[in-house]
Amino acid sequence: MNGDDMDIQEMFKNMSSTRLRALIGGNRYVVIDEAQRIADIGLRLKLITDQIPDVQVIATGSSSFELASKVNEPLTGRKREFKMYPLRHS
């Protein structure tokens, strides 16, 4: 999913665990790029990890500072952070 997409932002706005289960279906992984653009993304990710434990979520963003500030508190003890540095062409 792309957090820049207004449809994705709107979809997450009033998301319940029932709607999340329907959206995720049988998938084991959910990838959200530009996650920092989704309102209350930390709470949404917490809902996924708490209510659908078999699903792994990967949330990425070009603004790591902004993304970290939105997910740190709600996901305490539920997350791992990885820093990925830009690839350089030679």
**d(C-alpha 5, C-alpha 15), whole Å:** 16
Q: Per the structure, how many domains does the chain have? A: 1
Q: Is residue 25 part of a domain?
A: yes
Contact 58, 29 (CB under 8 A): yes
Q: Is residue 76 part of a domain?
A: no
Q: Is residue 78 part of a domain?
A: no
Q: Is residue 29 part of a domain?
A: yes
Q: Is residue 30 part of a domain?
A: yes
Region of 69 (left: φ > 0; alpha: ψ -120 to 50; beta: rest) is alpha
pLDDT in tens, the chain (90 residues): 999 999 999 999 888 888 888 988 899 999 999 988 998 888 888 888 888 889 999 888 876 656 566 565 666 666 677 676 777 776
Tell me the whole-structure pTM to 2 decimals: 0.73
Helical packing angle, 41-51 and 17-24, nearest 10°: 80
Q: Is residue 83 part of a domain?
A: no
**d(C-alpha 67, C-alpha 22), whole Å:** 25
User: Which residue segment(s) compose the domain that 65 sits in?
Assistant: 6-71
Q: Is residue 36 part of a domain?
A: yes
Q: Is residue 40 part of a domain?
A: yes
